Amino acid sequence: MTQPPRHFRSPELWTAVFTGVLAASTLVALIVAYQQLQELHAESQIQHLLALEQQFNQEPLLTYRRGFAEKRLKNQDDPNDLYNLLDFFETVGLLVRRGYLDESDVWNTFSYSAFVLNADARQTIEQDQRDDPTSYTDFTFLVTRLQLLESKNHGTSAHPSKDEIKDYYQQGLSAGKVTPRRHK
């Protein structure tokens, strides 16, 4: 039986081969771990979004939304409910800015409500920001990002008209109310 060539018996060669195998295995493990972290992050973003959507559609925000809609339809300015809604969207904006929410998902879920609130309350927000420049900066950031996405997707809702705002509030009066079916 013949012996393998001398260079195949070299410990340096085998050390290099196994070091290469170890490096390749480590690289594959890092890639898999990175992909799993990305999936976990995306799943976490969806969970945050669903929790916020649920919060938006349940008490006490439902009462604030209906109360605000009712007051705005009666042309009442600066009701307290406005600040509760702005605070909600301020939180959404903060979470988008920090990467806890995907802005495209937020656009799909909350953009029209944010656009209406921004259009209707713009003067109040600007006055608050003159008094305190940090007021509603995350809301303003959110609206700007959502408007960019609206434009990018060729949407037309970023700047609702007075009639559209009124329609939104009329629909808001029944938010969360279950309408019983009529049996024939």
Q: pLDDT, tens digit, for every residue of 138-155?
A: 999 999 999 999 999 999
Are residues 84 and 98 both part of a single domain? yes
pTM over the 0.75 mark? yes
Q: Give the confidence band of 3 by pLDDT, cuts at 50, 70, 90.
A: low
pLDDT 10s digits, 10-69: 888 878 888 998 898 888 889 888 898 888 877 888 999 999 999 999 999 999 999 999
Give the number of domains in the chain.
Answer: 2
Contact of 55 with 61, CB cutoff 8 Å: yes
Are residues 96 and 168 both part of a single domain? yes
Structural domain span for residue 25? 12-37
Are residues 89 and 164 both part of a single domain? yes
- Chain CA centroid to CA 18, Å: 46
pLDDT score recorded for residue 73: 95
Are residues 29 and 91 both part of a single domain? no
Pick from 144, 136, 43: nearest CA to 91: 136
Q: Can you say whether the dihedral through the CA atoms of 62, 58, 91, 34 is positive or negative?
A: negative
Whether 147 maps to a domain, the answer reads yes
For 125, other C-beta atoms within 10 Å of its C-beta total 20
pLDDT above 60 (res 184): no
